[in-house]
């Protein structure tokens, strides 16, 4: 094989978030060495994937030096999302901070970044030439999944891609934004758009031409890439040393599913879903994760552990957010996985009373349409264990009243010194009377503050390690598997469902 393409494999990176056009043939770790040799000497192209590389600061001197050498030698360097930010002058990661928090980049691209959230599937126009393509004016497709997407270009940067987005910072705001740039030579490129190399023949043609790759060699690269993916997917997370066990027995005809909702935003859905995804993957399950609504950032930590890509059905449409309908999401997930976790949006009922919106407009409606077993996560840090129990019991009963198959609850952020053996028995019996099981009682943890909250700033390697530790220690995984069941999708009459909710109030 004449040409080799490296993929940065670092804590905080997402090396399986997309397929990268099936180009990567080699992994490049923190030391920048590939098979005992410097990456700059053996690679023709380096891909730096998305993730939390800026926040995690895991691009160390070794790999940084090799990236610089490749750029100076006119070899090709591609940074995607967080990888783009690594190649830039720097990024202000101070979202929700009174002062900017500026993290310097490598300076290979003359741009800076500020906070701007976008999680749309997009169409984009090629507006400048680079090693990706010289077909200016072509339209390409992909998706955005970023928190820091406000790009400022300076003198030495050339825009190459402009995306048409529908929503910015949670609000509907159709706008064209710069989503790609390159250096003056066109050999160092950064893009915000994920799956660009996967969905667009114009990009594949461009890279093939830039590298001068024959059809025969392209087939060799594809074979090497398949082995590389298999190697990556055996590890849970990155540099954890944790391997997924082989699941014994036949693959189930239809996947088991579980929908996770919560009493409120901040109750701990994402922590629980992330930990469950990792714990189930360790036990040999092929785990898929879906988000209700458009904020796909919430399921990225789980994908970091499972090494699964973001797919079209990874986001279920709610009102004017999300990517695919309930039936489309079910059809896609059932083909690919044997265990599917669905993470709710907000709390279960948020949006139900908004009559002017397109349906479904709430997690409860999606849960009813999916027919999936549902678990309520109850944060107990604000109103104490007593208030958390009462609220969770009321939630369970109300969801059941609406016909939602509510099978259990997880009490989260609990001060365990309150939980005597007698209290545990009382809690267990209370939920059993309500027709649900207590699947876990999870203590208050240190998953607070900058670096640990997806909504503010996240270091994937730290967040996911803590999430899987909490779930494995405090949630009964065997019970989780037992209460999970296949989708029982129905053609829900949303108007009747909303009327039922109103009548039950």
pLDDT, tens digit, 9 for 90 and up, residues 48-72: 999 999 999 999 999 999 999 999 9
Chain-wide mean pLDDT for the chain?
94
Residue 250 lies in a domain: no
Residue 344 lies in a domain: yes
Residue 244 lies in a domain: no
Spatial CB neighbours of 224, under 8 Å, sequence gap ≥ 6: 1, 25
Whole-angstrom CA distances from 395 to 157, 262, 310 are: 53, 9, 31
**In a shared domain, residues 265 and 186:** no
Strand, coil or helix: 463: helix
Phi first, then psi: what are they for 146, rounded to 5°?
Answer: -135, 155
**In a shared domain, residues 183 and 42:** yes
Contact by Cβ (8 Å): 197, 18: yes
Residue 246 lies in a domain: no
Please tell me the least confidently modeled range out of 139-143, 155-159, 258-262, 447-451. Answer: 447-451
Instruction: Give the pLDDT mean for 326-342.
Output: 96
Spatial separation of the C-alpha atoms in residues 177 and 133, rounded to whole Å: 19
Instruction: Give the pLDDT mean for 177-192.
Output: 98
Residue 425 has pLDDT above 60, yes or no: yes
Spatial CB neighbours of 98, under 8 Å, sequence gap ≥ 6: none
Q: Return the axis-axis angle of helices 421-433 and 384-401, rounded to nearest 10°.
A: 20
Residue 451 has pLDDT above 70, yes or no: no
Residue 365's nearest CA partner among 339, 346, 387 is: 346
pTM, 2 dp? 0.95
**In a shared domain, residues 271 and 392:** yes
Dihedral over alpha carbons 451, 456, 460, 461 (to 10 degrees): 10
Residue 378 has pLDDT above 80, yes or no: yes
pLDDT at 248: 58
pLDDT at 450: 44
Share of the chain above pLDDT 90, in %: 89
Residue 243 lies in a domain: no
Dihedral over alpha carbons 334, 335, 336, 337 (to 10 degrees): 40
Residue 251 lies in a domain: no
**CATH code for the domain of 303:** 3.40.50.300
Spatial separation of the C-alpha atoms in residues 170 and 315, rounded to whole Å: 15
pLDDT at 458: 85
pLDDT at 251: 67
Look at the chain and report how many structural domains it folds into: 2
pLDDT at 357: 83
Spatial CB neighbours of 246, under 8 Å, sequence gap ≥ 6: 284
Spatial separation of the C-alpha atoms in residues 310 and 381, rounded to whole Å: 32
**In a shared domain, residues 387 and 439:** yes
**In a shared domain, residues 269 and 229:** no
pLDDT at 97: 77
Whole-angstrom CA distances from 163 to 111, 126, 143, 196 are: 17, 9, 9, 12
Instruction: Provide the pairing of β-strand 158-168 with 256-262.
Output: unpaired
Residue 455 lies in a domain: yes
**CATH code for the domain of 157:** 3.40.50.880
**In a shared domain, residues 333 and 225:** no
pLDDT at 249: 58
- Two tokens at 339? 């265990």
Range of the domain at 193: 5-233
Spatial CB neighbours of 150, under 8 Å, sequence gap ≥ 6: 113, 114, 115, 116
Identify the band that residue 454 occupies on the pLDDT scale cut at 50, 70 and 90: low
Identify the band that residue 246 occupies on the pLDDT scale cut at 50, 70 and 90: confident
DSSP 8-state secondary structure symbol assigned to residue 20: G
**In a shared domain, residues 316 and 441:** yes
Provide the 10 A C-beta neighbour count for residue 284.
Answer: 15
Whole-angstrom CA distances from 43 to 66, 79, 184, 223 are: 10, 15, 21, 17
Instruction: Give the pLDDT mean for 318-330.
Output: 95
pLDDT at 99: 79
- Two tokens at 371? 């027919």
Share of the chain above pLDDT 70, in %: 97
Instruction: Give the pLDDT mean for 83-110.
Output: 92
pLDDT at 231: 94
Question: Tens digits of per-residue pLDDT, 270-321?
Answer: 999 999 999 999 999 999 999 999 999 999 999 999 999 999 999 999 998 9
**In a shared domain, residues 224 and 263:** no
**In a shared domain, residues 319 and 464:** yes
Residue 490 lies in a domain: yes
pLDDT at 456: 56
**In a shared domain, residues 93 and 57:** yes
Identify the band that residue 253 occupies on the pLDDT scale cut at 50, 70 and 90: confident
- Cα 421–422–425 angle (5° rounding)? 90
Contact by Cβ (8 Å): 457, 232: no
**In a shared domain, residues 440 and 365:** yes
Is the backbone peptide bond immediately before 212 cis, with ω within 30 degrees of 0? no
**In a shared domain, residues 283 and 198:** no
Question: Tens digits of per-residue pLDDT, 201-245?
Answer: 999 999 999 999 999 999 999 999 999 999 999 999 999 999 998
Question: Tens digits of per-residue pLDDT, 155-167?
Answer: 999 999 999 999 9
Whole-angstrom CA distances from 79 to 70, 104, 426, 457 are: 13, 15, 54, 20
Number of residues that this document lists for the chain: 505
């Amino acid at each position: 094989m004449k040409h080799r393409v490296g993929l940065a494999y670092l804590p905080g990176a997402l090396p399986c978030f997309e397929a990268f056009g099936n180009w990567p043939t080699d992994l490049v770790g923190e030391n920048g060495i590939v098979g005992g040799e410097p990456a700059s000497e053996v690679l023709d192209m380096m891909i730096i994937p998305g993730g939390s590389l800026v926040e995690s600061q895991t691009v160390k001197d070794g790999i940084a030096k090799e990236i610089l050498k490749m750029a100076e030698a006119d070899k090709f360097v591609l940074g995607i999302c967080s990888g783009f930010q690594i190649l830039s002058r720097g990024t202000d990661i101070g979202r929700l901070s009174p002062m900017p928090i500026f993290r310097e980049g490598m300076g290979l691209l003359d741009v800076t970044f500020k906070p701007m959230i976008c999680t749309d599937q997009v169409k984009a126009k090629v507006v400048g030439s680079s090693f990706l393509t010289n077909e200016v004016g072509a339209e390409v497709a992909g998706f955005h999944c970023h928190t820091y997407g406000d790009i400022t270009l300076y003198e030495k940067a050339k825009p190459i891609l402009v995306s048409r987005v529908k929503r910015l910072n949670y609000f509907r705001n159709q706008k064209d934004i710069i989503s790609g740039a390159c250096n003056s030579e066109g050999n160092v490129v950064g893009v915000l758009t994920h799956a660009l190399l996967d969905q667009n023949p114009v990009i594949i043609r461009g890279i093939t031409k830039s590298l001068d790759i024959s059809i025969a060699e392209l087939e060799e690269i594809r074979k090497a890439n398949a082995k590389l993916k298999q190697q990556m997917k055996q590890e849970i997370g990155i540099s954890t040393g944790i391997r997924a066990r082989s699941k014994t027995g036949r693959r189930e005809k239809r996947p088991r599913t579980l929908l996770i909702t919560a009493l409120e935003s901040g109750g701990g859905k994402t922590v629980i879903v992330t930990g469950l995804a990792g714990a189930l993957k360790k036990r040999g399950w092929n785990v898929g994760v879906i988000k209700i609504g458009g904020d796909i950032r919430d399921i990225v930590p789980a994908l970091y552990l499972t090494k699964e890509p973001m797919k079209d059905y990874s986001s279920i449409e709610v009102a004017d957010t999300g990517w695919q309908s309930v039936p489309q999401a079910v059809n896609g997930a059932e083909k690919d996985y044997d265990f599917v976790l669905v993470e709710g949006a907000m709390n279960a009922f948020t949006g139900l009373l908004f009559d002017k919106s397109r349906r479904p407009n709430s997690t409860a409606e999606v849960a009813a349409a999916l027919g999936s077993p549902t678990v309520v996560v109850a944060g107990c840090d604000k109103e104490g264990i007593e208030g958390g129990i009462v609220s969770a019991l009321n939630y369970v009963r109300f969801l059941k009243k609406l016909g939602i198959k509510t099978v259990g609850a997880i009490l989260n952020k609990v001060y365990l010194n309150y939980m005597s053996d007698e209290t545990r028995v009382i809690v267990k019996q209370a939920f059993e009377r309500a027709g649900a099981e207590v699947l876990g009682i999870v203590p208050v943890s240190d998953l607070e503050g900058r670096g640990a909250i997806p909504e503010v700033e996240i270091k994937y390697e730290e967040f996911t390690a803590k999430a899987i530790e909490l779930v494995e220690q405090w949630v009964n995984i065997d019970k989780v598997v037992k209460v999970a069941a296949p989708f029982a999708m129905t053609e829900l009459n949303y108007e009747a469902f909303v009327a039922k909710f109103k009548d039950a109030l």
